[in-house]
Amino acid sequence: MLVQGDRTGDTSLLDYAREYIRDKFNKPGNVYIGLVHRLDRPTSGVVVFALTSKAAKRLSEQFRVGDVRKIYWALVEGKTPTNGTLVDQIHRRGPTSHLVKGPGGQRAELFFRRLRYHKGVSWVEIELVTGRHHQIRVQFSHRGHPVIGDFRYGSKVKFGQKALALHARSLTISHPTRKEEMTFLAELESFWPRQFRTL
User: What amino acid positions are annotated as catalytic residues?
Assistant: 40
CB neighbours of 21 closer than 8 A, spacing ≥ 6? 27, 31, 33, 51
Which residues pair with residue 69 across a beta bridge?
172
Strands 83-93, 106-118: parallel, antiparallel or unpaired by DSSP? antiparallel
Helices (H), 74-134: none
φ/ψ of 31, rounded to 5, equals -115, 130
For CA atoms 89, 96, 130, 177, give the dihedral sign: positive
Segments of 34-137 assigned E as strands: 34-35, 44-45, 49-50, 69-77, 83-93, 96-99, 106-118, 121-128
